[in-house]
Every structure is written in structure tokens, then in C-alpha cells.
């Protein structure tokens, strides 16, 4: 059996979805259920002046990204084992595109939310 780097990358992408889904869904749980806004729209490790304002956007983003990752985690093995498809899992190209797009969109959307939550001030910074 020859070494195939493509198979390794498939497994890395699929296995990476497990911790990503866990962290994203845990963050949504903390925001919506526990009302913990400590991880909302962080910029350089600092919370925005009003994290409660940005909590719904961050929570929904984490909830959707975690749900899509969970959908792939459950759908791919189900399709491989039984042939029953609960989504676009008939080919590697499709589910890997959904997984990769979800990861990148989540990264960019988190960046956009954090930059919107921390307003850019022009001029000199005022001393406190």
C-alpha cells in the first residue's frame, strides 16, 4: 500500500472538526445560557467596552459554525457506513468544501465582529 498524502489530509480535516465543534458550541452555550461575555469580540485579548451588545452576533456565529461542523461529523460516517445521506456527503469534495468554508467564514466573521466592537479612534489617545 502506497502512502497517499490526500488520505492523510482528509483525516486531518475530519478529525479537526471534533475540537472545533466542541469549542464553538461551548462558546455559544456560555454566551446564551450562562451569560458569560468574557470571550465576546476579543481584540488582543481585551473585551470591547460593551460586550453584551456584541454577544448575540458572536453567539449566533458560534452556534451556526458548531452546528455545521456537528452535521458533518455525524453525516460523513453515517454515509460511509450505511449509504444514508443527511447532507451533501456523497463525495469528499463536497463535504470538505463545506467544512473548509465553515472554518474560514468563522475566522473572518470573528475578525469582523471584533473590529466592529472595538471602534477606531482618530487623533491622540486620551489619558485616563
Give the pLDDT of residue 126.
Answer: 67
To which H or E segment does residue 19 belong? Answer: helix 5-32
Q: Quick one: average pLDDT of 72-97?
A: 82
To which H or E segment does residue 26 belong? Answer: helix 5-32
Would you say residue 104 has pLDDT above 90? yes
Residue 61 placed within a domain: yes
What percent of the chain has a predicted confidence (pLDDT) above 70? 96
pTM: predicted TM-score of the whole model, two decimal places: 0.83
Kindly report the average pLDDT of the chain as a whole number: 87
Give 110's pLDDT tier (boundaries 50, 70, 90): very high
Question: Measured in Å, how far apart are the chain's first and last C-alpha atoms?
Answer: 67
Residue 123 placed within a domain: no
Give 47's pLDDT tier (boundaries 50, 70, 90): confident
Give me the number of domains the chain comprises. Answer: 1
Would you say residue 14 has pLDDT above 80? yes
What is the distance, to the nearest Å, from the Cα of residue 68 to the centroid of all Cα atoms in its chain? 9
> With contact defined as beta carbons under 8 Å apart, do 63 and 28 qualify?
yes
Give the pLDDT of residue 128.
Answer: 60
Q: Is 127 helix (H, G, I), strand (E, B) or coil?
A: coil
> With contact defined as beta carbons under 8 Å apart, do 40 and 47 qualify?
yes
Query: If DSSP states are collapsed to H, E and C, what string results for 66-124?
Result: HHHHHHHHHHHHHHHHHCCCCCCCCCHHHHHHHHHHHHHHHHHHHHHHHHHHCCCCCCC
Give the pLDDT of residue 40.
Answer: 87
> What residues make up the domain containing 103?
16-39+47-117
Q: Quick one: average pLDDT of 89-108?
A: 88
Would you say residue 1 has pLDDT above 80? no
Residue 6 placed within a domain: no
Amino acid at each position: 500500500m502506497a502512502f497517499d498524502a490526500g488520505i492523510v489530509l482528509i483525516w486531518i480535516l475530519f478529525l479537526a472538526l471534533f475540537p472545533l465543534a466542541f469549542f464553538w458550541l461551548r462558546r455559544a452555550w456560555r454566551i446564551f445560557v450562562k451569560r458569560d461575555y468574557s470571550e465576546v469580540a476579543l481584540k488582543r485579548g481585551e473585551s470591547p467596552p460593551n460586550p453584551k451588545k456584541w454577544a448575540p452576533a458572536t453567539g449566533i456565529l458560534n452556534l451556526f459554525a458548531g452546528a455545521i461542523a456537528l452535521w458533518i461529523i455525524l453525516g460523513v460516517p453515517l454515509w460511509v457506513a450505511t449509504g444514508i445521506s443527511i447532507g451533501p456527503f456523497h463525495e469528499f469534495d463536497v463535504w470538505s468544501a463545506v467544512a473548509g468554508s465553515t472554518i474560514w467564514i468563522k475566522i473572518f466573521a470573528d475578525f469582523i465582529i471584533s473590529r466592529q466592537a472595538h471602534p477606531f479612534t482618530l487623533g491622540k489617545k486620551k489619558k485616563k
